Amino acid sequence: MFEAAEVGDKVSKEAFKAEIPKLRTALLEAQRALAKGDFSLIVLIGGVEGAGKTEFANRVLEWLDGRGLEVHAWGEPTDEERERPFFWRFWRILPGKGKAAFMLNSWYTDPIVGRVYKKSDDAELDQQLDRIVDFEKMLAGENVLLVKLWFHLSKKGQKKRLRELEKDPDNRWRVTAMDWKFHKKYDRFRKVCEHALMKTNTTHAPWNVIEASDRRHRDQTGTKVLLEALQKRIKQGKIAVERSPDLPKPKPKNIIRRLDMGLKLGPKEYDAQIERLQGRLGLLSRRLRDEGRSMILAFEGPDAAGKGGVIRRITQSMDARLYRLMSVAAPTDEEKIRPYLWRFWRALPRVGRFTIYDRSWYGRVLVERVEGFAAAEEWRRAYGEINAFEEQLAGAGTIIRKFWIALSSDEQLRRFKDRQKTPYKQYKITEEDWRNRAKWDAYEAAACDMVERTSTEHAPWVLVEGNDKLWARVKVLKTVVEALEKGLS
Amino acid sequence: MFEAAEVGDKVSKEAFKAEIPKLRTALLEAQRALAKGDFSLIVLIGGVEGAGKTEFANRVLEWLDGRGLEVHAWGEPTDEERERPFFWRFWRILPGKGKAAFMLNSWYTDPIVGRVYKKSDDAELDQQLDRIVDFEKMLAGENVLLVKLWFHLSKKGQKKRLRELEKDPDNRWRVTAMDWKFHKKYDRFRKVCEHALMKTNTTHAPWNVIEASDRRHRDQTGTKVLLEALQKRIKQGKIAVERSPDLPKPKPKNIIRRLDMGLKLGPKEYDAQIERLQGRLGLLSRRLRDEGRSMILAFEGPDAAGKGGVIRRITQSMDARLYRLMSVAAPTDEEKIRPYLWRFWRALPRVGRFTIYDRSWYGRVLVERVEGFAAAEEWRRAYGEINAFEEQLAGAGTIIRKFWIALSSDEQLRRFKDRQKTPYKQYKITEEDWRNRAKWDAYEAAACDMVERTSTEHAPWVLVEGNDKLWARVKVLKTVVEALEKGLS
């Protein structure tokens, strides 16, 4: 992969000078089109130490309009980052549509460095690279243009560059002991990088390996690659996706219909059980922190299924400072201009905390599918994206349980009518609820697909017979308590 | 202050039961009005340990619609919080219009606990309380309704409550060794709290001290206070502020006109100086982190003053990962629904980092004043709010410099015309620039007012003669270098 970047490509001073004004103008034009476009740009700059990633970034930034543009580089993770999945720090800075981010290190840095220093083995590296491929595919699908540049220097070239920098009083500080230490591991580094680049060199996010021994060649080529990628994307224009309602039909004996909706609890039994469960939950909830764990509970189900009531039985049991309730409503404009999972990554709990989602990212494959807010290709790939998301959460120590509170159609009708009659419940019933009800079958079928495709060992779906509220509350609490008992040592 | 909350107020079970349905309905109605209103709600719940802050919050949350509502409590600051001013953690969670936040501890906690444990003296406590008064005044001005509840228990009452909780198996966990330790300091705690509450009992954010020995009385009274505050605010409706352009006239010999706009540098002298300064800046910039400091640079000035060019000379000198350039454009909708300083608090640098603002919070007293986007009462109080903001930054170790890049009217015209002629500069000149130019005098006078009222020792304004770009760049870099040399040990 790197041989082609060791051929000694150079650009003369004159050629460079002649080229630059044209490049600048074109680049600025492309940036202005980006600002008005419906995609965002991430320029990922990787490569060998000493190849001039920062130098290149500074030059291109000088040529661009600074507005709507950020440069990122990450050092040691902060404690807020450490308490969340690896990708959280990158989600935090995802640029919105029309904006650009330059990254001087990235999701490649830790996997590569970890392997070079033998903190991980080949299998672990490959697993990390698989996650990267998934992540970049999601970005591409969600209208983030990712341009990946890799600046290469041969071993000799790196040594020469580091020596050069050391001799220059203005740039001496750029060379640290770390760089020389790294230089000694050049061959190993190269091998790991070659493997990483090969595995992540995908159609939707290809690598551009650029010879960096001549600065002018590096900057001109890097800029051209960026420019061409931008121009190509701009030409595509608004990527037309067809969004139309998808109204799947439920199978006759699906998992929801097989639920025994007659299950119920008497008030006395309920009182006895709920009190005991709440007590246990209270105790368990305070142990999360010490064990470096967090918990996510997601609730879905038809309108009036009693999600709110269930959630209150949980929140009542614990210290209010331990949980955050996220009720999913319409996204804000900052959320709308980013991949749809962004708003959920934003709200991830720290260690020791619960985040309870009253409706969740599953909206993508439920309401967005049925109502046609998401295109078929969008909600179809969402199953995989969601599984990858939850796998990362679980890997970072988050205990996850997802609840589908089921309800029979008759019982929903009864509750709707009851809500209309009770003054302080009236706000709970809207036109939209009636409209959703008309699509009962499609929602049920979509829910079955969802459970089938996203119930995993680390993030299982729990179907709850919700016709009897008391039964439902006890079942959910029991599940939460058991999940905690199983998850905590 | 607390005597009135030790009279033994009680509410009978029957009275409570009779009252609750009415309270719930009214509360929900008020919450729905809030959701549509143009203000946000913060309920600050303070008081004696054991008085049931969490219990109260859980009960009220049960009565409210969980949507648009968050509960916050803070533990030890995270490292990201520690690296920023004290109030940052509270700014982070400020609810937007239509939303509510319940706080189980608050900006009062640290000042009070610090004084009780003698980590601060009376003067320091008073200074902290003054800041709180300023902060709460700002909230009130920016349409945040702050309801402050204080749950009181007498010393005997606290002892009784803690014992009671310890006896109850479900609630035993709520009582920690800390609580008993705190109980021993009851008298001291009471004295400090009394002082704190007196000093912060203002018209715009009064305290409501509530007797908490009887749970029903506590919950009913607390809810009523909250309800009445909400209803009163809702009745006020959209607070009408008159927004009209303010076009101040410049004084004949103002600070901007007294600048010697003929100052300039030859290209050779410029090259020599800028290179030396950039080298020094590069070295100094890397020392910020070790010394636990950060730096904020804000740039204001007429269109075409050369802010971008100056900023690039700074960013060129340092590692791109050390700085973040924030170009201030139109606020997003998440920003629009919060106090105007929110977007700047959001972007505050961590230790070791620079944030460079290309236009800044001073927009409030410049463009928003002149164009009438802010009402007179809004931009007038902004001077004080901004000074308080910068004082906090400086107190947290941030080195601040603010630059006004001055330009003569003739030179601006010359640059506008030049931009129209040069292809890759054309994007820089818009209709708006010409419109702003027509209000030259008003902008100049507003800038003079701004410098006069917000140039402080810890955050001085530096006026830069900008007709000669080379002169301006060197002057700014010199100022930044000297500020760092002075600020770093």
Using H for helix, E for strand and C for coil, what is the string for B229-273? HHHHHHHHCCCCCCCCCCCCCCCCCCCCCCCCCCCCCCHHHHHHH
User: Which phi-psi region, left, alpha or beta, contains residue B359 (left: φ > 0; alpha: ψ -120 to 50)?
Assistant: left
Distance of CA A1 to the CA centre of its chain: 29
Q: Are residues A173 and A99 in the same domain?
A: yes
A321:B170 CB<8 A: no
Helix runs in B142-208, H state only: 155-167, 177-184, 186-199
Structure tokens given for B42: 């913060």
Q: Report the greatest alpha carbon distance in chain B.
A: 89
Q: Are residues B170 and B305 in the same domain?
A: no
B170:A69 CB<8 A: no
Check: CB of residue B372 under 8 Å from CB of residue B243.
Answer: yes
Interhelix angle B307-317/A53-63, nearest 10 degrees: 180
In sequence order, what are the beta bridge partners of A145? A41
Q: Are residues B133 and B212 in the same domain?
A: yes
Q: Are residues B142 and B277 in the same domain?
A: no
pLDDT at residue B176, as a whole number: 83
pLDDT band at A332, cuts 50/70/90? Answer: confident
Share of residues in chain A with pLDDT > 90 (%): 79
Residues 6+ apart with CB under 8 A from B150: B46, B47, B193, B197, B207, B208, B209, B210
Residues of B in contact with A297 (CB under 8 A): none
Among chain A residues, CA nearest to B275? A170
Interhelix angle A267-285/A469-487, nearest 10 degrees: 30
Q: Which phi and psi (to 5°) does residue A458 adopt? A: -85, -10
Structure tokens given for B358: 């290309």
pLDDT band at B257, cuts 50/70/90? Answer: very high
Share of residues in chain B with pLDDT > 90 (%): 79
Higher pLDDT residue, B70 or B302?
B302
A286:B173 CB<8 A: yes
Q: Which phi and psi (to 5°) does residue A151 adopt? A: -90, 120
Residues of A in contact with B421 (CB under 8 A): none
Candidates B48, B68, B45; CA nearest to B58 is: B45
Tell me if B250 is assigned to some domain. no
What is the per-residue pLDDT across A202-256, written as a single tens digit (0 to 9) for each?
A: 999 999 999 999 999 999 999 999 999 999 999 998 777 889 999 999 999 999 9
What is the per-residue pLDDT across A161-205, written as a single tens digit (0 to 9) for each?
A: 999 989 987 677 778 888 899 899 999 999 999 999 999 999 999
The answer to whether the Cα torsion of B295, B296, B301, B305 is positive or negative is: positive
Tell me if A259 is assigned to some domain. no
What is the spatial distance between Cα B247 and Cα A290, in angstroms, rounded to a whole number? 60
A32:B329 CB<8 A: no
pLDDT at residue B427, as a whole number: 74
Tell me if B223 is assigned to some domain. yes
Helix or strand or coil: residue B296?
strand
What is the spatial distance between Cα A5 and Cα B96, in angstroms, rounded to a whole number? 52
Structure tokens given for B51: 């008085």
Residue B403 is classified by DSSP as: E
What is the per-residue pLDDT across B132-169, written as a single tens digit (0 to 9) for each?
A: 999 999 999 999 999 999 999 999 999 999 999 899 87
Q: Which H or E run contains B63? A: helix B53-63
Tell me if B262 is assigned to some domain. no
Residue type, position B331, single letter: P
Residue B423 clears pLDDT 80, i.e. is over it: no
What is the per-residue pLDDT across A370-417, written as a single tens digit (0 to 9) for each?
A: 999 999 999 999 999 999 999 999 999 999 999 999 999 999 999 999
Last residue of a domain, which of B218, B236, B254? B236
Chain B interface mutation, best of A170, A283, A334, highest count of B Cβ atoms under 10 Å: A170
A303: number of Cβ within 10 Å: 19
B320:A104 CB<8 A: yes
Structural domains of chain B, count: 2
Tell me if B326 is assigned to some domain. yes
Cα dihedral: A219, A222, A223, A224 (round 10): 120
B342-378: b (≥16 Cβ within 10 Å) or e = bbbbeebbbbbbbbbbbbbbbbbbbbbbbbbebbeeb
Question: Which of A278, A334, A424 lies closest to B334 in CB terms?
Answer: A334
Helix or strand or coil: residue B214?
coil
What is the spatial distance between Cα B397 and Cα B390, in angstroms, rounded to a whole number? 11
Q: Are residues B201 and B334 in the same domain?
A: no
Among chain A residues, CA nearest to B32? A427
Check: CB of residue A218 under 8 Å from CB of residue A210.
Answer: yes
Chain A interface mutation, best of B274, B281, B321, highest count of A Cβ atoms under 10 Å: B321
A138-159: b (≥16 Cβ within 10 Å) or e = bbbbbbbbbbbbbbbbbeebbe
Q: Are residues A216 and A326 in the same domain?
A: no
Q: Are residues B303 and B395 in the same domain?
A: yes
In sequence order, what are the beta bridge partners of A401? A297
A324:B71 CB<8 A: yes
Residues 6+ apart with CB under 8 A from A158: A48, A49, A50, A51, A183, A186
Question: Which of A24, A70, A321 lies closest to B424 in CB terms?
Answer: A24
Mean pLDDT computed over A26-47: 94
Question: Quick one: A260 exposed, middle or buried, by C-beta within 10 A (0-12, 13-18, 19+)?
Answer: exposed
What is the spatial distance between Cα A149 and Cα A208, in angstroms, rounded to a whole number? 5
Residue A116 clears pLDDT 90, i.e. is over it: yes
Question: Which of A54, A67, A311 lies closest to B329 in CB terms?
Answer: A67
Question: Which of B57, B65, B79 lies closest to A427 in CB terms?
Answer: B65
Q: Are residues A454 and A335 in the same domain?
A: yes
Residue A61 clears pLDDT 90, i.e. is over it: no
Min distance B312 CA to chain A CA atoms (Å): 7
A68:B333 CB<8 A: no
Among chain B residues, CA nearest to A337? B332
Tell me if B255 is assigned to some domain. no
Tell me if A260 is assigned to some domain. no
Q: Domain range for residue A451? A: 267-487
pLDDT at residue B75, as a whole number: 83
Q: Are residues B100 and B28 in the same domain?
A: yes
Sheet holding A100-103, edge to edge: A69-72, A100-103, A40-47, A144-152, A207-211
pLDDT at residue A68, as a whole number: 80
Question: Which of A275, A334, A427 lies closest to B32 in CB terms?
Answer: A427
Tell me if B50 is assigned to some domain. yes
What is the spatial distance between Cα B88 and Cα B81, in angstroms, rounded to a whole number? 7
Q: Are residues B230 and B302 in the same domain?
A: no
CATH number of the domain to which A456 belongs: 3.40.50.300
B291: number of Cβ within 10 Å: 15
Whole-angstrom CA distances from A320 to A162, B52, B60, B106, B274 are 55, 11, 12, 14, 56
Question: Which of B58, B73, B334 lies closest to A332 in CB terms?
Answer: B334
What is the per-residue pLDDT across B168-213, written as a single tens digit (0 to 9) for each?
A: 876 787 788 888 998 999 999 999 999 999 999 999 999 999 999 9
The answer to whether the Cα torsion of B110, B116, B120, B126 is positive or negative is: positive
- Residue in this structure with the two tokens 């049920």, named with its chain if needed: A444
Mean pLDDT computed over B229-253: 91
Min distance B461 CA to chain A CA atoms (Å): 23
B90: number of Cβ within 10 Å: 19
Check: CB of residue B399 under 8 Å from CB of residue B483.
Answer: yes
Q: Are residues A118 and A162 in the same domain?
A: yes
Q: Are residues A205 and A69 in the same domain?
A: yes
Among chain B residues, CA nearest to A276? B170
Q: Are strands B40-47 and B144-152 parallel, antiparallel or unpaired?
A: parallel
Candidates A42, A157, A161, A131; CA nearest to A94 is: A42
Helix or strand or coil: residue A398?
strand
Checking A277-281 for CB contacts under 8 A at 24+ apart, the result is A277/A317, A277/A474, A277/A477, A277/A478, A277/A481, A278/A313, A278/A316, A278/A317, A278/A477, A278/B170, A279/A317, A279/B169, A279/B170, A280/A481, A281/A314, A281/A317, A281/A318, A281/A477, A281/A480, A281/A481, A281/A484
Min distance B224 CA to chain A CA atoms (Å): 17
Mean pLDDT computed over B461-470: 98
> How many beta-carbon pairs under 8 angstroms link A with B?
140
Candidates A79, A81, A80; CA nearest to A89 is: A81
Structure tokens given for A331: 């996204």
